[in-house]
Amino acid sequence: MGKQGRIKTVSFALFLVVLFQCKFLAVAILDPLDFLALQSIRKSLHDLPGSTFFASWDFTSDPCNFAGVYCDSDRVVALNLGDPRAGSPGLTGRIDAAIGKLSALAELSIVPGRIYGSLPQSTSQLKELRFLAISRNFISGDIPATLGQLRSLKTLDLSYNQLTGEIPRSIGTLPELTNVILCHNHLSGSVPPFLSQVLNRLDLKHNALTGSLAPDSLPPSLQSLSLSWNQLTGPVDRLLSRLDQLSYLDLSLNQFTGPIPGRLFSFPISNLQLERNLFSGSIQPADQVTISTIDLSHNRLSGQISPMLSTVQNLYLNNNRFTGQVPASIVEQLLSGNIQILYLQHNYLTGIEIKPTAEIPVSSSLCLQYNCMVPPLQTPCPFKAGNEKTRPTAQCIEWKG
């Protein structure tokens, strides 16, 4: 080999050394604790068939270029595990305790998949964490009470898992919480007070929660509250009267008692779901109601139906104890097509001013059966309404008496 050839060979060898050093330095840029933590997390999680999320996780290259890893300088600040595209198979395995070593982490999320095991206690070491979302997996065990140490946490979403035990009271003390989504688990015990004055959304539906709610247990900043499908009890009128920012309210399928406050109907709510409880008393909105859907069915509400409800688009008042005449303004709105659903079956109503020849718009539904009157016109009712057209006279006399 000539002199020129030997020089080329040495230069190429030096190039390879420099290239290797650069590659090594690229890896070394990341904080060593973060690097080791990512390795442990990778070993405990795997792609489900059809997922290629971890294909880019080659630890001979810069981890800050891995899918779902976001760095600020030499620290990992966000970890979004799994392909976020709709229909992605997701990941399986356990969350390694090394997650707690990512001490600069502000955001942690895992896409829907088959992650199992408990949420590591070490998660509470992530003092900078603001966003924690691991939904639609198979996380089990208790919610660590030590999550109450995450004083910067804004969003907590552990919905659609297999969590058990009580909601730690420490969670309710977090001052920056804006969203708490723990629905579709197996949580029991009472709803803890939430002290955050910036809480916007609280979703605890489909659990096994019990007990009552204190009048000051939830902040007036709430815009969306869902507690349906639990076993909650007691009155909520004083609590609800304070929540004047609500745009969505679902307390259905519980055992709440007492009156429904009239001022609730003036809140900026678009959907009000209070069905299948033990609410009692009359419904007395102060002004014309602008809520588009109201479901008060299957309660113990009584008195006359307020004409202030004539502007509701979908109105479910069935299976209560309402009496008297159906207001003329409600009939007028039904016939004009402004009311699309009017369910009044299974009450003690005694009359409705509507001609037997009246035509209900095709887009509207009316059900009147099983009241203290003969329905002036036959309309299709839900299957669950039964076949009896009128309530037995004896029941009507007894109720009137």
Q: What is the pLDDT of residues 32-85, one digit of tens each?
A: 999 999 999 999 999 999 999 999 999 999 999 999 999 999 999 999 999 888
- In the prediction, which pLDDT does 12 show? 34
- In the prediction, which pLDDT does 2 show? 52
Nearest to 122 by CA among 135, 108, 136, 110: 108
Residue stretches of the chain with pLDDT short of 50: 1, 3-28
- In the prediction, which pLDDT does 401 show? 56
Question: Counting every residue, how long is the chain?
Answer: 401
- In the prediction, which pLDDT does 22 show? 40
Whole-angstrom distance, CA of residue 181 vs CA of residue 202: 6
Report the sign of the C-alpha dihedral through residues 335, 339, 343, 347, in that order: negative
> What string of DSSP letters covers 120-161?
PGGGGG-TT--EEEE-SSEEEEPPPGGGGG-TT--EEE--SS
DSSP state of 371: B
Q: Phi and psi for 331 in degrees, rounded to 5?
A: -60, -40
- In the prediction, which pLDDT does 6 show? 44
Q: What angle do CA 28, 31, 32 make, to 5 degrees?
A: 75
**Could you tell me whether strands 179-181 and 91-93 are parallel, antiparallel, or unpaired per DSSP bridges?**
unpaired
Q: 272 - beta bridge partners? A: 249, 294
Whole-angstrom distance, CA of residue 344 vs CA of residue 317: 5
Amino acid present at 324: G
Does the model's pTM come out above 0.85?
Answer: yes
- The 10 Å Cβ neighbour count of residue 247 is 15
Whole-angstrom distance, CA of residue 308 vs CA of residue 188: 38
Helix/strand number for the chain, H first, E second: 6, 27
Whole-angstrom distance, CA of residue 20 vs CA of residue 240: 65
Whole-angstrom distance, CA of residue 34 vs CA of residue 38: 6
- The 10 Å Cβ neighbour count of residue 378 is 10
- The 10 Å Cβ neighbour count of residue 155 is 19
Amino acid present at 177: L
- The 10 Å Cβ neighbour count of residue 364 is 19
Sequence-distant contacts of 244-247: CB under 8 A, at least 24 apart: 244/220, 245/220, 245/221, 246/222, 247/223
At 289 the three-state DSSP class reads coil
The two structure tokens encoding residue 33: 């604790």
DSSP state of 29: T
